[in-house]
Structure 1
């Protein structure tokens, strides 16, 4: 176990080895393979790799990679150019039955710090603005935050709105955030430990234990009220119907195993789609193509897709997310996320008449079939 000191975390401020966007997530008492699996590791990609071997090219489908390192008592997940561990749904899933703490560096957006225990976010904040905290116990880490220089100054107002004219040192606030993580875990990775091969895998969060995003779904007050009041069997039916409607719109309703999985979820049965199954292989291909469509817009590979191909790829990505939601066992979360393409999606997937039918169904009116 390494001694946790400021000298031991300042390597994170360098562009090497992890660069300007990265995420470190510490999970207590969970081994390397299991922690990768919880994040959605694809079993056929699990092997030792160096960080340089994480191929993020168009040809490879812009895969997301995670690396795992045993620190003794805690395992750290390392995501170069990634952020999955800092998302609340992912972190709380990682923390089931244990603790997890995540530190994100993102030089083009917000840095992040999250601490979760047994499926609940305890404390979260942006290290640049430590006065703005949330979670079940936002002040639980305040003493340790003060020790690493992350507590809000006494002059801050009651809402924790720090002066946004702070000096440039705030841009590196992820460094004391990593030190804070070290105070919780008792260990941090040393930069030298990242130079060799590490346990790693391509991750696809669709196959993780995390629920669909709670921030996704309808925003109309009438629909939200109907979703809140509807009984579980109606919520499952709406989610299943919407998944199959989208499949029909996109010509995917004949996908092997799809109808059976959705029907089982509608009956309230637990459904697991493994990455190696026939349906899982289709899901992986849809998500891969959707990533290619999005990420290639930012590099020279953008011209490799026609506009029609890009649109079709994006539609499959929307469908994969809706399917993931429809298969989720908690009916309120499943229905809310599954309805997102209908209420917030691209024009090809929206249908006002269908939305009205769904609303009547949730209110106990005529069925949607």
Structure 2
């Protein structure tokens, strides 16, 4: 196989086929359908589409501002292509994609940060913003130094700001994988699906959770059964506040998670359909604020309600996560950081006492 060169990646620069925002994630020895599934593909949306269809869906209120991903077989590796997207660049998803294999992610975002990440079997090896390659983190941040220098991402140069960094990041990915997609392969229809990471195997976001030192310490010290109980009871409280407690399958799923049993909610289940609806509505609420043609589609009350559905969906996802500490931390986020009426200082104090094993005051 010929080595990947700068000429093989120049097409992503400027106003190339993928535009100003995209994510390319390479997964080794995983086929197209499985790669999409790992990203949280909704099975009933799986079909062949063009990139233009993805751009149109992403900008459409009626489509729920759907995020689509495409999969392209490159031989040993499959690349996931997210026009306008970034999911594969997130630590939680990248590490989930890499379980049992390897995954490499390249993110271009002209209005935020570019990104590069490499994970192996569920562990983040190295991650950095290619514009500043000297600022890296992960289990082995220096593992790729030789390839980084070959790609033009030398962290030891005096000028630590790299221009056109995402092009060089794609070259780095090519040096690792031995392959990159050719722009001609993106011109037609590719296997694709709407993706909803809620249904992936990614852990709750590492950044989600209480910031109060007392609550953080109590979470760290509490035994697993208490952590699961707090996550379950707080999610149940939120369901009651939002009048969602009668959602089919919800009570059973939360109870099973509290008992420490594995819980999987499929996108085509009754509960899964409700989750999809909540997430879609929350996405419409947020994205329509910057969409002049759709801003009036929701009243202020409808938008606030939709936002709270998104908070609840995130808390439920956390409560069902099998690792109790991460589950409790993320499930408590609406209580400690959410909007009224989800944020409740009195209930927060009660949770803190429960985690510490203290009796409730009379």
**Pairing of 1:42-61 with structure 2 (within 5 A):** 42-54=42-54, 55-56=57-58, 57-61=60-64
What is the deviation of 1:139?
0.7
Contact 2:74 2:180 in 1 (8 A): yes
1:114 — aligned with what? 117
1:74 — aligned with what? 77
Q: 1:82-104 CA distances to partner (integer Å, 9 max, x unpaired)?
A: 00000000000000010000000
What is the deviation of 1:348?
1.8
- Select which of 223, 235, 247 maps to 1:231: 223
Distance (whole Å) between structure 2 residues aligned to residue 110 and residue 88 of structure 1: 14
2:241 — aligned with what? 249
**Pairing of 1:152-231 with structure 2 (within 5 A):** 152-155=155-158, 162=160, 166=161, 170-231=162-223
What is the deviation of 1:148?
1.2
1:83 — aligned with what? 86
Contact 1:40 1:207 in 2 (8 A): yes
What is the deviation of 1:171?
4.2
1:350 — aligned with what? 343
Q: 1:308-360 CA distances to partner (integer Å, 9 max, x unpaired)?
A: 00000000000000000001111000000000000011122111110011001
Contact 1:2 1:189 in 2 (8 A): no
Distance (whole Å) between structure 2 residues aligned to residue 115 and residue 90 of structure 1: 12
Counterparts in 2 of 1:153 and 1:350: CA distance versus 1, 3 Å: same
Contact 2:3 2:175 in 1 (8 A): no
What is the deviation of 1:264?
0.6
Contact 1:47 1:201 in 2 (8 A): yes
What SS does structure 2 have at the residue aligned with 1:347?
coil
Q: 1:136-192 CA distances to partner (integer Å, 9 max, x unpaired)?
A: 111111111111110124436xxxxx3xxx5xxx34210010000000000000111
> Runs in 1 of length 4+ with deviation above 3 angstroms?
153-156
Distance (whole Å) between structure 2 residues aligned to residue 367 and residue 61 of structure 1: 44
Does 2:301 align with 1:308?
Answer: yes
- Select which of 133, 141, 145 maps to 2:144: 141
Q: 1:263-288 CA distances to partner (integer Å, 9 max, x unpaired)?
A: 01000111111100111000000000
2:12 — aligned with what? 12
1:363 — aligned with what? 356
What is the deviation of 1:214?
1.2
Contact 2:113 2:129 in 1 (8 A): yes
Distance (whole Å) between structure 1 residues aligned to residue 50 and residue 100 of structure 2: 30
Distance (whole Å) between structure 2 residues aligned to residue 47 and residue 14 of structure 1: 29
- Select which of 125, 128, 133 maps to 2:131: 128
What SS does structure 2 have at the residue aligned with 1:348?
coil
What SS does structure 2 have at the residue aligned with 1:66?
strand
Greater Cα shift, 15-24 or 240-249: 15-24
Distance (whole Å) between structure 2 residues aligned to residue 33 and residue 104 of structure 1: 22
- Select which of 327, 333, 337 maps to 2:330: 337
Does 2:27 align with 1:27?
Answer: yes
Please, what TM-score do these two structures have when normalized by structure 1? 0.95
What is the deviation of 1:14?
3.2
Distance (whole Å) between structure 2 residues aligned to residue 84 and residue 16 of structure 1: 20
What SS does structure 2 have at the residue aligned with 1:67?
strand
Cα root mean square deviation, aligned: 1.3
Contact 1:2 1:188 in 2 (8 A): no
Unaligned runs of 5+ in 2: none
What SS does structure 1 have at the residue aligned with 2:246?
coil
Contact 1:99 1:116 in 2 (8 A): yes
Distance (whole Å) between structure 1 residues aligned to residue 350 and residue 341 of structure 2: 18
